[in-house]
Structure 1
């Protein structure tokens, strides 16, 4: 089947419809400058240019790499895994990439390119690997997972059958980078496939979101994260009427969901998925806490969670998450196998502990943390720490609240008050970033136990 997404879908940029011919010029310009047999790392502020880069790479048969971070260590690992990498970006800075690994594009780069170029049609083989997506590193070293064209198309169709976002509004704005699978599936590729229009800008701050919403032809969906939602709630900026919020990437406290719906007068839909599988389930948290699987998804839970779908490997995809199956279509999330802790013969999940911490009034953000062990520390001697963002500056008050919610053996020692958590652009908390924050408060030689 031939997919000419841009020919059937205009892209909205603040009330200006970008002509398909202009996007064709972008794609030709990029495709002609991409090295052969070289993986592309697309990093863009402008979503139109991002999609043009993706389109160019697909037609050239080149996979795009979605990275969780661009640290020197990550880029070194990338060079060891792939013989050739090339950053394509609209940013002035290219960080840790070498100058000969960078192709910079601006919105005006292709102004002089003739618009009468031959039409490009995206017609990849179904099994063509389009993306190689790296996990966030929240549980350790990031790993990459390949995504075929068929898998991306089937996932988009699956989401549309359940959520039917286009039935409620024809426009969508995303605050999430498109090189994150959630931002890509719900904020760019999916909406284009569903016949919706998206805005080229990715507004980060409340005032930016207000400006883009006011420019929209009609009400719009906003694809975002819990971190952004907290910022909207703390801001005095009023948002115009919108169709609703889609939220993912980190646990969403129920109280935050209720506050968002009450203030902005719209629905908030939470989604659940993984880098390995893509979209898995969704829920309307203020209406109930159970998750509903998308119609193509089935789940088993024995020693580990396994997800099945026609667009996934036949044997399914195993995940580190732990769930409680309610029936064949519904489940509750318990936590991750890797975040189970056992102290004094008692077990708890960091996922559940974090949820109870973030439900405390005045706690804006927080996370439990297993501190790095000292060399002479016994393997079974585990103490938990916690980082908390709160207007309440007395950690003892937070501890007293926790004492009423969790077993005291899991109380964090210490509980550290911080101005913010080191979340990445997708609201994830990489383990390495938390360790760095820990060492900023405690010397390596005297990690508390």
Structure 2
């Protein structure tokens, strides 16, 4: 084992506080909807019990279940069995090799018939309904390590972040409070984000489980599927999604199912899209801010204010012992160890702040400073722009001036019209040279726009330009 799965000096489990797997006291309470079939709390616990003896023998299990309900059953069976879920953000061959360096005993539990993950595999089994189910809710130790989530470090290698059961529970309880859902009895969470992604893990799996809501099961990504599911499940409904999925839904130009709340994360949401979404779904839209390291820590309603509001008991401050550290540090609440944020943050009063983009996105041109997030905000606010992003190429060794580029999805708007609006909004030093129209941006399944994918897109245009001369 290359890491510690139990905090140093922790007392025996019998002396540490326990937290239940779920808050339900009524066995008939609905935990999930699988199409139109309701799964009760009793059936869910039965499924967890049935899966435990069929789990891989290893301590560390990569949870590769794409069906959200199967993911939930696998997650809980792994936890109750005293094993640990591995949740890498990608499943490339290189990521899996690096994951094996972290957990040499790692195996994979999957519901995919053609899974290509190069680990010992166990297929998710068929679970049969039981008669005369005993309703007994498992109890987990508060500081039990139940999952490792992974981010890419500065070297590109995955960095593991330990998640304890108690911290995860406190996080999603605070999320429900912040979103005004504490008393939303019977609400159903419909998610478009993969459950292995930290945002999907928290908001579409743990938040319904811990707060007594129901979740919709299948991994929907297409607009028609999302709409059909919203129509099938009972109200009140909460849509947990991303800007890229909202943009696709709005582009359908048809009546959309009403919801009680829309939740968005993974990428900045253009004000125009936020307003369109609220109007189309007849519901308020809240954005969530956080990181894999800290979990979710703040929300805002972008049609009302650009300021973020911290979760209860979360503190944000400069490093008390290092005046040269420009980063904000997060502590308190569910954040077990103070963590630095890599975003440029302007702290306001009463737990509020503004986010000006990632520190790595700060750019300097001709002695002037801006951020890619600020520039992207103005680009995406232009009417007719469906999606857009600025790109700063690497510095040239030849001494030539490096020029900002921008890519835009705007089939009905002329390039010169977009540039004309930008000239009114941003400093001339940051005007894109060139502004390139594309059919779509290379966003991933969660709506994020990886820097490497944007660099590859820029390289493609550069090659085409060279080939035409």
TM (norm. structure 1) is: 0.89
Give the drift of 1:287.
Answer: 1.4
Query: Residue in 1 aligned with 2:6?
Result: none
Instruction: Rate the CA distance shift 1:325–1:159 in 2: closer, same or farther, 3 A.
Output: same
Query: Residue in 2 aligned with 1:338?
Result: 360
- Residues 80-118 of structure 1, C-alpha deviation per residue, up to 9 Å, x if partnerless? 2221222222222213x13x5222226xx123x866688
Q: Does the residue aligned with 2:109 lie in a helix, a strand or coil? A: strand
Q: Does the residue aligned with 1:295 lie in a helix, a strand or coil? A: coil
11, 14, 17: which one aligns with 2:38: 17
The question of whether the paired residues in 2 share the 8 Å contact of 1:213 and 1:239 is answered with no
The question of whether the paired residues in 1 share the 8 Å contact of 2:309 and 2:352 is answered with yes
Q: Does the residue aligned with 1:442 lie in a helix, a strand or coil? A: helix
Q: Counterparts in 2 of 1:62-73, with a 5 A limit?
A: 62-73=83-94
Give the drift of 1:445.
Answer: 12
Query: Residue in 2 aligned with 1:124?
Result: 140
1:347 and 1:71 mapped to 2: Cα distance?
A: 36
Query: Residue in 2 aligned with 1:405?
Result: 425
Give the drift of 1:64.
Answer: 1.2
Instruction: Rate the CA distance shift 1:251–1:15 in 2: closer, same or farther, 3 A.
Output: same
The question of whether the paired residues in 2 share the 8 Å contact of 1:65 and 1:132 is answered with yes
1:238 and 1:389 mapped to 2: Cα distance?
A: 23
Give the drift of 1:359.
Answer: 0.9
Instruction: Rate the CA distance shift 1:75–1:440 in 2: closer, same or farther, 3 A.
Output: farther
2:138 and 2:73 mapped to 1: Cα distance?
A: 11
1:346 and 1:192 mapped to 2: Cα distance?
A: 48
1:440 and 1:119 mapped to 2: Cα distance?
A: 58
Q: Counterparts in 2 of 1:152-171, with a 5 A limit?
A: 152-168=168-184, 170-171=187-188
Give the drift of 1:3.
Answer: 0.6
After superposition, the CA RMSD in angstroms is 2.7
Query: Residue in 2 aligned with 1:303?
Result: 326
Q: How many residues align?
A: 439
Instruction: Rate the CA distance shift 1:445–1:366 in 2: closer, same or farther, 3 A.
Output: closer
140, 149, 153: which one aligns with 2:165: 149
Give the drift of 1:2.
Answer: 4.0
User: Structure 1 stretches of 5 or more lacking a match?
Assistant: none
Query: Residue in 1 aligned with 2:71?
Result: 50
User: Structure 2 stretches of 5 or more lacking a match?
Assistant: 1-17, 319-324
Give the drift of 1:195.
Answer: 1.4
2:154 and 2:372 mapped to 1: Cα distance?
A: 13
Query: Residue in 1 aligned with 2:373?
Result: 351
Give the drift of 1:440.
Answer: 2.6
Instruction: Rate the CA distance shift 1:264–1:119 in 2: closer, same or farther, 3 A.
Output: closer
Instruction: Rate the CA distance shift 1:115–1:268 in 2: closer, same or farther, 3 A.
Output: same
